Structure 1
Amino acid sequence: MFSTLVPLLFLALLAAAVATLVVEAWRGDVVESEHLIHGAVCGTDGEVLASWGDPFRVTYPRSSLKPLQAMAMVGLGAADAFGLSEREIAIACASHSGEPFHLEAARSLLSKVGLNEGSLRCGPHRPAYGPEADALVRSGCEALPIHNNCSGKHSGMLALARHLGAPLETYLDIAHPVQQEIIAHLSRLTGVPRESIRAGADGCGAPTFALPIAGAATAFARLAAADTGTPEGDAAARRITAAMMAHPELIAGTGRFDTALMRALTGSLFCKGGAEGFFCIGVPERKIGVALKVADGTGRAREPAAVYILQELGVLPEPVPAALAAFANPPVTNTARQVAGHIHVAGKRG
């Protein structure tokens, strides 16, 4: 009897020690939906300093990987070879809204490499920025690949391909030198063995890579601390994080969380969102990285969870700065533009 109870007691204690973070969507005075958050806070050695849910869950960080993918371009010398500016490095890390200054930065990067947007293999979609999308419709023009939110990342990959003397037409193939260098950099930054990194196809057609949530947090900690294991990597990390923090408007755009968060805490952190509810943050002063994943992929839960975690860490004050209030507790609205409810973090349960 005793031998049966001991392992059960141990499992119960272990379960109780696992913090749970839930974002609730209220309609009126009723909780309509709940979104479970998996997350990790890590140091440069990969130690998990705090966690919610399953910090070792393997998933796709999606566009949260862009600063890590850009490490190959900068670290291997392409940025220097083509004289890329801080703005052009920033756009290579971006999921931009297709605003005019985003398009200018991506086109400038391509021009310095001796290419144009005809080389992009990301496919087109309408700009996320409403006025720009409306302007396209009024002009009768179709969206172009440069409007794709990932066009900066693709431009950076093309820069690396040209720098390596590799084929330009096939830069998205997983066996291409550009993608192999990106995988090598991801392995070093996350601590995940290269052979354990699985690949899928991202929404823009580029390879995307599955990683443990804690691995993504570790990589952002190493970027934040400029502690990557090589002098070239350390210098690249400093340039990328400086570019992101100096130009938050390029990383996302008007009215978007990544931009608002970096502006609210100027020089204190850098961050990058990804599809399906992923978000990563690096805090240079603390030399820590944060990664979170909304388990069901719902984007509306991502920002409240990120704000909550930053407040738990003491990075963000309470109450939240006014510029971030709408992200911390977004309203639930209807087609009559009425506020029907709200979304907020329920907190740790367990």
Structure 2
Amino acid sequence: MTRTTLLDRDYVVTDRGGIIENTHGVHIAVTDIEGNILFSAGNPSRVTHSRSAAKPAQAVAVIETGAVDKFGFDEIDLALTSGEDDLRCGGHPAVSEEVNREWIRTGFVPTGICNNCSGKHVAMMAGAEALGADVKDYHLPSHPMQLEVKRVVGDLAHDPKQVEWGVDGCNLPAPAYPLFYLAQKYATFADAADAVEASSSTSQRTRNFARVFNTMTKHPEQVGGTGRFCTVLMQTYRGQLFGKVGADASYGIGVRESEDTRRLGVKGALGVAAKIEDGNLEILYAVIPEILEQLGIGTPEQRGRLDGIHHLQRRNTMNEVTGHVRFNFKVRPFGDRVDKTTGYLGRQ
């Protein structure tokens, strides 16, 4: 039997018995700290909601309110316990299957304190307090805390006019912008870590970026959790890069300057952003190691530690392998004829 399938140029395939079952479109942008697109797949200018991949920028906004230094982490943790009624994120089932089973067994109903974004919400409550603003409305787009977030996001954007806003799943304003903006943002954080390490005479903003990068890479278990991809990725690369997932399959990575980045012709740090068109997180987690392998980021041993995630196998209820994932894309050099409004003209 002849099967014809109309497919995009860059995609991931899952098969069952060698027969294509699903295809997942892939968009990738690789930039330097100036936002120049160096490599790409799919449409690197696809307007993308970064979702939780925006958290590093949101963290900087909180730092710049003075809340982190004013309250200290212990007091912020205390606020998480005492301020549950003011949380505006709502509850959801646990990410951990083990925890979720226990909740079901005991009849526990998760509240906002159990939300996987509750830490960000508590930090913003602390930020609102530091600004002298009403804590109860910290989530509203017009609130001073959210205006701080918008300021930081705008400062990081290649063109602030291209930033749009929606509402995230956790009920906070969520920025959307061309995918390569996300890559540039993550490159900026990694570059800040390099700058602070090299010199003590950096700007306060640069130190804030470096603070977020270093905190995430030193404590990756606090970013994702046991067995979560973000945690495993940063544990594997041990300070060379940081990464954060966003819901519906967006991802940002910032890679510090190294022999690997210089070999790619990059001056300074490197940023990588990816989006899976249909929002499949499992496919996204397989795609990130594939990107790192194609770019040659890290040692073969480091990349090998991600093999179980990278070379995903489909299994049935008897744990038998029924299919595999195949990568039908190449992260290609991006030419000089770049039209950043489309993201396609410069692709080679």
Q: TM-score band, normalised by the shorter chain?
A: 0.7 to 0.9
Rounded Cα–Cα distance in structure 1 between residues aligned with 2:98 and 2:40: 40
Which residue, out of 90, 93, 105, partners 1:126?
93
Contiguous gaps of at least 5 residues in structure 2? 1-7, 197-201, 262-268, 333-347
Shift of 1:321: 4.0
In structure 2, the partner of 1:215 is 181
Alignment of 1:23-62 (within 5 A): 23-62=12-51
In structure 2, the partner of 1:175 is 142
Mapped pair 1:288 → 2:254: no
Letter of the structure 1 residue corresponding to residue 158 of structure 2: G
Shift of 1:49: 1.3
Deviation string 1:41-97 (CA, Å, 9 cap, x unpaired) is 111111111111111111101111111111101133221111237xxxxxxxxxxxx
In structure 1, the partner of 2:233 is 261
Rounded Cα–Cα distance in structure 2 between residues aligned with 1:45 and 1:171: 32
2:307 aligned counterpart, secondary structure: helix
CA contact (8 A) 1:28 1:341 kept: yes
Number of residue pairs aligned between Structure 1 and Structure 2: 308
Contiguous gaps of at least 5 residues in structure 1? 1-18, 86-107
Change (3 A) 1:21 1:306: farther
Alignment of 1:1-350 (within 5 A): 20-84=9-73, 109-111=76-78, 115-193=82-160, 195-226=161-192, 231-285=203-257, 286=261, 287-318=269-300, 321-348=303-330
1:326 aligned counterpart, secondary structure: helix
CA contact (8 A) 2:237 2:302 kept: no
1:36 aligned counterpart, secondary structure: strand
1:126 aligned counterpart, secondary structure: coil
CA contact (8 A) 2:79 2:122 kept: no
Deviation string 1:149-193 (CA, Å, 9 cap, x unpaired) is 111111111111111011111111111111111011001112232
1:82 aligned counterpart, secondary structure: helix
Task: Give me the TM-score of the superposition, normalised by structure 1.
Answer: 0.82
Rounded Cα–Cα distance in structure 2 between residues aligned with 1:319 and 1:305: 18
Shift of 1:338: 2.5
CA contact (8 A) 1:125 1:144 kept: yes
Rounded Cα–Cα distance in structure 1 between residues aligned with 2:280 and 2:204: 37
Shift of 1:117: 2.3
2:254 aligned counterpart, secondary structure: strand
CA contact (8 A) 1:43 1:289 kept: yes
Rounded Cα–Cα distance in structure 2 between residues aligned with 1:305 and 1:131: 26
Task: Give me the TM-score of the superposition, normalised by structure 2.
Answer: 0.82
CA contact (8 A) 1:113 1:162 kept: no
Letter of the structure 2 residue corresponding to residue 188 of structure 1: D
Shift of 1:310: 1.0
Rounded Cα–Cα distance in structure 1 between residues aligned with 2:52 and 2:145: 17
Shift of 1:277: 1.3
Instruction: Give the RMSD, CA atoms, in angstroms.
Output: 2.3
